[in-house]
Amino acid sequence: MAHGHTITIEQGTRQVRVVHGDQVLARTDRPLVLRETGCPVRYYIPPEDVRLDLLTPSATRTYCPFKGTAAYWSLPDAPDLVWAYSNPKPDVAAIKDHLCFYEVEVS
């Protein structure tokens, strides 16, 4: 990790829901909570708790020097709404294949 840059991942216990329009896209009580220097807290959701049938793979890829290459999925009216790392860097291996959405509800 770069000097001064940290990423921590912990097992969350609060319920996380992702709603888009009137559809619940994901619901979990076992998110991984990722905190990264300079970034908002992100919740990585196990794939079993995501409505993958509603999402379409996107051609978008982004690269993070700390996490690796992310692939994205879209809804018809929400491009690149969710991303995941299928081969994350060793320091963040726990997030492998978990899905992360830009906006979540935490209760």
- The C-alpha atoms of residue 81 and residue 102 are separated, in whole angstroms, by 7
Q: Is 3's pLDDT higher than 90? A: no
Instruction: Report which residue type is found at 89.
Output: K
Confidence of residue 23 (pLDDT cuts 50, 70, 90): very high
- pLDDT tens digits along 29-79: 999 999 999 999 999 999 999 999 999 999 999 999 999 999 999 999 999
Predicted local distance difference test score (pLDDT) of residue 103: 87
Is the distance from CB of 66 to CB of 5 less than 8 angstroms? Answer: yes
Q: What is the mean pLDDT of residues 81-104?
A: 96
Predicted local distance difference test score (pLDDT) of residue 4: 83
Predicted local distance difference test score (pLDDT) of residue 93: 98
Pick the CATH number of 7-106 from 2.160.10.10, 2.170.150.40, 3.40.50.980, 1.10.287.180: 2.170.150.40
What number of residues does the chain have?
A: 107
